[in-house]
Amino acid sequence: MSVSTASITETCHALRERVNARLEKYVEQAPGVPQRLQEAMAYSLMAGGKRLRPILVLLSCEACGGQAEAALPAACAIEMVHTYSLIHDDLPAMDNDELRRGRPTNHVVFGEALAILAGDGLLTLAFDVLARDVTPGETAAACCADLARAAGMAGMVGGQVADLEAEGRTVSSIEELEAIHRRKTGALLASSLTMGARIAKASNEDLHRLASFGRCLGLAFQITDDLLDVCGSPQNLGKAVQKDASRGKLTYPSLLGEEASLLRAQCQVVEACKWIEPFGERGRRLESLAQFVLERDH
Ligand code: IPE
Ligand code: IPE
Ligand code: MG
Ligand code: MG
Ligand code: MG
C-alpha cells in the first residue's frame, strides 16, 4: 500500500465514524414514527457501506477552507438519499436483489410495502435535515436545490428509468450508456461536491471545478461498479455479482469489454483530477479518493 493510499484509508475511516455517529442520531426512534418503519430505515442506513458520498461532502468542504463539522448534516442527507435509492433499486420490480451491504435486502426482511416506505422516509428525512441543520438558511436552500435536482427526474430517478428501459435492448450506443450512468450515479455524486463547497462558501469558480470533478468521478464510479459485477467478489462487495449480464443490463463491460471499460474509468479519473489541480495541497485528499474509486474492490 502506498503512503497516500494508507493515509486516505485512515482519513476515510475517521470521517466514516463521524458520519455514522450522526446518522445514528438522525434515525433514532421519535414520537409519531411507527417502530417498524424506524427499524426498516435504520436497518439499511446503518448497515455499513463505504460512505463515499458523505466523505466527498466533507472533503469538498475542507478543500474550500471550511470545517467538516459544518458539512456533517449535508453529508448525512446525501447518504440518506443514496440509501433510499439502494432500497428501491433492489426491489423485485427493479433489480430484484436479495443481498445488500452484506445483509438480506430491505424488502426481504421487512416486505415490499415497508421497504418502499422506508425509502420514502429516508428521502424526506434528508431534506428535513438539510433545511433544519445547514446554516445559514440561504445555504440550506441552495443545498436542498442541489440535492433535489441531482436525485430527481433529470438525475438519479431519470437515470434509473433509463436503466430499466435499456434492459434487454440489443442495439445501444456508448452515448446512451453514458447518459444513463451520468444521471443514475454521477449526478448524486457530483452534488456531494457542490454541497460541501457551498457550505464552505466557495467561489463560483471553485464550485464549478468541484462539480466537474464530481461528474467525472461519478461516471468512473459507475464504470467500476459495472466491472465489479463482472469480476468482483460478493464477500468484498456485500452484494451479489454477475447479475447484470443475466438481466440484460446495459453496462460498460457489456458494450465495450472489460479492458476498454477500465481505460474509460481511468480517463475519467485523470480528467477529474485535472479539474482540482488549482486547489494544490488542499485537493490532495480528493485526488487520493479518486484513485481509490479506480482501484477499489468493494
Ligand atoms: C452502489 O453504491 C450503487 C451505485 C450507485 C453504483 P455504493 O457502491 O456506494 O454502495 P455503498 O454505499 O458502499 O453500499
Ligand atoms: C444503481 O446502479 C444506481 C442507483 C441509483 C442505486 P446498480 O443497480 O448497478 O447498483 P448495484 O450494483 O445494484 O449496487
Ligand atoms: Mg440498478
Ligand atoms: Mg442494482
Ligand atoms: Mg451495479
CA separation for the pair 14, 12 (Å, rounded): 5
Tell me the average pLDDT of the chain.
97
Reported as a single tens digit per residue, the pLDDT across 102-127 is 999 999 999 999 999 999 999 999 99
Looking at the DSSP bridge assignments, the partners of residue 169 are none
pLDDT in tens, 263-277: 999 999 999 999 999
Q: What is the pLDDT at residue 4?
A: 67
pLDDT per position as a tens digit, 197-248? 999 999 999 999 999 999 999 999 999 999 999 999 999 999 999 999 999 9
Residue type, 71: A
- Closest residue by Cα to atom 12, ligand 1, is 49
Kindly give the distance from the C-alpha atom of residue 185 to the centroid of ligand 2, in angstroms, as a whole number. Answer: 8
CB burial readout 38-59, b (16+ within 10 A) else e: bbbbbbbbebebebbbbbbbbb
How many whole angstroms separate alpha carbon 60 and alpha carbon 197? 6
pLDDT band at 7 (very low <50, low <70, confident <90, very high): confident
Q: What's the CA-to-centroid distance between 140 and ligand 1, angstroms?
A: 25
d(CA 186, ligand 2 centre) in Å: 12
Q: Which ligand is nearest to the CA of 159?
A: 2
Q: Is the pLDDT of residue 3 over 60?
A: no
Q: Which three cell numbers stand for residue 71?
A: 458539512
pLDDT at 2 over 60: no
Weakest mean pLDDT among 3-17, 39-53, 57-71, 124-138: 3-17
Which residue's CA is the nearest one to ligand 2's atom 1?
Answer: 89
Which pLDDT score, from 0 to 100, does residue 90 have?
98
**Nearest residue to 9 via CA among 294, 277, 298, 292:** 292
The pLDDT assigned to 172 comes to 87
Q: Is it the case that residue 1 has pLDDT exceeding 60?
A: no
Q: Distance (Å, rounded) from C-alpha 251 to C-alpha 242? A: 12
- Protein residues whose CB sits closer than 6 Å to any atom of ligand 2: 85-86, 89, 95, 97, 156, 160, 184-185, 225, 229, 239
Query: Does the C-beta of 222 come closer than 6 Å to ligand 1?
Result: yes
The total of other beta-carbon atoms located within 10 Å of residue 195's CB is 31
Query: What is the tens place of the pLDDT at every residue in 116-162?
Result: 999 999 999 999 999 999 999 999 999 999 999 999 999 999 999 99
Is this model's pTM higher than 0.95 or not?
yes
Q: From the CA of 82, give the closest atom in ligand 2.
A: 6
Check if 52 has its Cβ closer than 6 Å to any atom of ligand 1. yes
31-40, 105-114, 165-174, 179-188: which range is least confident on average?
A: 165-174
Backbone angles phi and psi of 103, in degrees to 5: -130, 160
208 CA → ligand 1 middle, Å: 24
Nearest residue (CA) to ligand 1, atom 10? 49
Question: If you measure from the C-alpha of residue 35 to the centroid of ligand 5, how many angstroms do you get, rounded to a whole number?
Answer: 31
